Amino acid sequence: MQMRPSSIILAGVGLGSLFHSGTMFLQYFTTEINAAAALFWTFGDLSKATYENITFLTLIFLPSLLLLWIGHWKFDALCFGDESAFNKGVHVQTFRSVVFFNFRTLHG
């Protein structure tokens, strides 16, 4: 079964809202200091991060950036539909699987 792109986008919005509500629920029951730290962390604050944390994030970020840089033309081809992308040489299902797996490992 193949989902339409709009269904995938709506599922992503729904999951993002679910995880955001879970984060807010945890912040409600924690101490004031931990809630402030979590809030700053969600804004991108890395002041309390160790070198191990930053190394781990770098090891995840760089391969993802490389994948996006190498496959940017495939993303552009997919904007015009699966059939058009296939005609331009993109193996649509394989490419989607690779991208999905890569971003799934990034976001848990």
Helix (H), strand (E), coil (C) string for 61-105: HHHHHHHHHHCHHHHHHHCCCHHHHHHCCCCHHHHHHHHHHHHHH
What pLDDT does 83 receive? Answer: 87
Q: Verify that 71 and 28 share a domain, yes or no.
A: no
Contact 102, 67 (CB under 8 A): yes
The amino acid that residue 62 corresponds to is L
Instruction: Give the domain range for residue 11.
Output: 1-45
User: pLDDT for 90-101, tens place per residue?
Assistant: 888 888 887 777
Q: Verify that 107 and 77 share a domain, yes or no.
A: yes
**How far, in Å, CA of 96 to CA of 80, rounded?**
15
Q: Verify that 40 and 53 share a domain, yes or no.
A: no
Q: Verify that 8 and 31 share a domain, yes or no.
A: yes
**How far, in Å, CA of 103 to CA of 66, rounded?**
13
Q: Verify that 60 and 35 share a domain, yes or no.
A: no
Global pTM reads 0.45
Extract the tokens encoding 47.
């002041």
Q: Verify that 30 and 55 share a domain, yes or no.
A: no
Mean residue pLDDT across the chain: 83
User: pLDDT for 9-29, tens place per residue?
Assistant: 888 899 999 998 988 898 889
Extract the tokens encoding 4.
């339409």
Q: Verify that 32 and 66 share a domain, yes or no.
A: no
